[in-house]
Amino acid sequence: MVEPSDSDLAREVVPLLQDLLRADTSNPPGHETRAAVVLKAYLEAAGLPCELVAREPERANLIARIEGTGEGPSLALLGHTDVVPVEDAPDWERGPFSGDLDDNGYVWGRGAVDMKNQTAARAVAIALLARSGWRPRGDLVFVAQADEEDGTHQVGLTWLRHQRPDLACDYSLDEGGGMRLELADGRVLVTLNVGEKATLPALVTVLGEAGHASVPSPSNAVLRLSTIIGRLGQYQPERTVTPAGRRMLELLVGSPDGNLEEAIARAGSLHPWLERTLPARFCTTISPTRLTGSPARNVIPSRASVECDCRVLPGTTPPQLEAELRRALGDDLAYEIAFLEEPTGGTTSPVDSPLARICQEFLDRHDPGATVFPTISTGFNDSHFMRESFGTTAYGFSPFRRSADIDEDARAHARNERVHVEDLVHTTRFHLFAAQRLSEVGRA
Ligand SMILES: [Zn+2]
């Protein structure tokens, strides 16, 4: 097995990450080709041919592949190359595009956590395997995709998957998991993202009667809208236990049969992150965000509306969400509900698979005592494209050991985003291990 020392891995992954961080790929506008050419130079120096595949020249994706013998499962390692924009550059302690390595072992920059760290680790893993002459039983594919953070321009994986049916792999690893949770009872869990909730934004329009604003009226649609929004704030959504949700509770507090609300609360008491995020993994969430009222200040409108960012569990249909919205909003005021987009995302992969077991095997070797903890993400990433287009068993997993040490402001999308070299080495080692072990085991 290819198993370099920590210092050899650091010598590979740190400079590559620094170069990626120095390539400003803030999206919008993206300019991900800057990162793609950095990766291309690095991978081709390792003897791995690369393709840049672009719908717009400035927004290239990169694909590289070690061809397998066709006897085993194929694996795609994915990493998006864009980053969210920096709104507060003067407040950063080090430049957001500096790629600085500080004396404490942190590499700084926008994307150090989300997710140039992982993109670099995956590139190093495939490069080292290519350099060693390793031949897998199934193809090992590396994809560095554009436009994940914004995702609306049809230049990243949403476009690429239609152009490149050869990206169909049995398994994939992308962002979304690997967070290490030290529980109040002493246990250690590492998140494995097996699915994501779907986004299904809704527009609720409340109906009233128009009039002159100089004569106030209780039929003012804006006043009625405030009542409706208050109800959304008070609403206690119904709980649903998905297979991943069941596994989560089993791991945390034992069987979830019985009082579900109590089980979720008990699980939440084990870690602040669980307390904050676990409830949303068992229900629809409805967050009112954008408001529209009268077009003129002196006109009482007959219609006023609120856009709701709704996130539903995998398998929830628009009619089911509409029924839930109606339960939340009541039936004594007149309103209309419209869905603004098709449901996006909302897919899951099996909680158990050879790759999930390999993740546990890696922890047993390199983080003994830690247990893989399958989660359904409340957010969003590209894994659902792999599941929908290719039926891939798509996970988010990039294990970290020290990320819990650093401040809230060092994390994804935050000021002072940074990653520790030990974490970079640890996750690079994981990807090397996963690719080689998966090649050894048979199909699921
Ligand atoms: Zn990301």
45/169 same-domain check: yes
CA of 111 to the centre of ligand 1 (A): 8
CA of 149 to the centre of ligand 1 (A): 6
Entry pTM: 0.92
CATH number at residue 327: 3.30.70.360
Residue 192 lies in a domain: no
φ, ψ for residue 7, nearest 5 deg:
-70, -35
Q: Which of 230, 262, 282 is the last residue of a domain?
A: 282
Domain that holds residue 433: 6-182+347-440
**Peptide bond preceding 29: is omega within 30 degrees of 0, i.e. cis?**
yes
78/146 same-domain check: yes
Residue 187 lies in a domain: no
CA of 115 to the centre of ligand 1 (A): 5
Residue 322 lies in a domain: yes
115/51 same-domain check: yes
Q: How confident is the model at residue 403 (pLDDT cuts 50, 70, 90)?
A: low
Q: How confident is the model at residue 70 (pLDDT cuts 50, 70, 90)?
A: very high
pLDDT value at position 336? Answer: 98
pLDDT of residue 251 exceeding 70, the answer is yes
355 neighbors 386 (Cβ within 8 angstroms):
no
CATH number at residue 436: 3.40.630.10
pLDDT value at position 444? Answer: 46
Could you give the residue numbers annotated as active site? 82, 148
Count of structural domains within the chain? 3
CA of 25 to the centre of ligand 1 (A): 13
Token digits for 216? Answer: 């106030």
155/63 same-domain check: yes
pLDDT digits (tens, 9 = 90+) for 8-19: 999 999 999 999
Average pLDDT over every residue of 48-58: 98
Residue 50 lies in a domain: yes
pLDDT digits (tens, 9 = 90+) for 19-37: 999 999 999 999 999 999 9
CA gap 281, 287 in Å, rounded: 15
Say which range, 100-104, 190-194, 376-380, has the weakest mean pLDDT: 376-380
Average pLDDT over every residue of 143-166: 95
Bridge-based pairing of strands 180-182 and 171-174 is unpaired
139/164 same-domain check: yes
203/173 same-domain check: no
CA gap 432, 419 in Å, rounded: 19
* Max CA separation in the chain (angstroms): 81
Average pLDDT over every residue of 355-372: 97
Q: How confident is the model at residue 406 (pLDDT cuts 50, 70, 90)?
A: low
pLDDT of residue 404 exceeding 80, the answer is no
CA gap 392, 353 in Å, rounded: 12
Q: Is 66 left (phi over 0), alpha (psi -120 to 50) or beta?
A: beta
pLDDT digits (tens, 9 = 90+) for 254-291: 977 778 999 999 999 999 999 999 999 999 999 999 99
CA of 381 to the centre of ligand 1 (A): 7
Residue 191 lies in a domain: no
Average pLDDT over every residue of 379-383: 89
Average pLDDT over every residue of 374-400: 95
CA of 367 to the centre of ligand 1 (A): 24
CA gap 33, 62 in Å, rounded: 9
CA gap 311, 67 in Å, rounded: 39
pLDDT of residue 85 exceeding 70, the answer is yes
CA of 9 to the centre of ligand 1 (A): 23
pLDDT value at position 387? Answer: 97
Distances (CA, A) of 301 to 41, 205, 297, 331: 59, 11, 9, 21
pLDDT value at position 413? Answer: 83
Residues 24-56, buried b or exposed e (16+ Cβ, 10 A)? bbbbeebbbbbbbbbbbebbeebebebeebbbb
Q: How confident is the model at residue 442 (pLDDT cuts 50, 70, 90)?
A: low
CA of 65 to the centre of ligand 1 (A): 22
102/40 same-domain check: yes
340/356 same-domain check: no
Residue 193 lies in a domain: no
Residue 364 lies in a domain: yes
Q: How confident is the model at residue 426 (pLDDT cuts 50, 70, 90)?
A: very high
CA of 272 to the centre of ligand 1 (A): 22
Q: How confident is the model at residue 441 (pLDDT cuts 50, 70, 90)?
A: confident
State which H helix or E strand residue 192 sits in: strand 188-196
Given CA atoms 185, 190, 194, 195 in this order, what sign does their dihedral have?
Answer: positive
CA of 174 to the centre of ligand 1 (A): 9
Given CA atoms 357, 358, 359, 362 in this order, what sign does their dihedral have?
Answer: positive
Residue 338 lies in a domain: yes
Q: Which of 253, 282, 311 is the last residue of a domain?
A: 282
Average pLDDT in the chain: 95
Q: Which residues pair with 288 in a beta bridge?
A: 308
175/116 same-domain check: yes
177 neighbors 193 (Cβ within 8 angstroms):
yes
Give me the residue label for tokens 């130079």: 41
248/274 same-domain check: yes
Q: How confident is the model at residue 229 (pLDDT cuts 50, 70, 90)?
A: very high
pLDDT value at position 274? Answer: 94
163/18 same-domain check: yes
16/162 same-domain check: yes
CA of 113 to the centre of ligand 1 (A): 8
Residues in the chain, overall count:
444
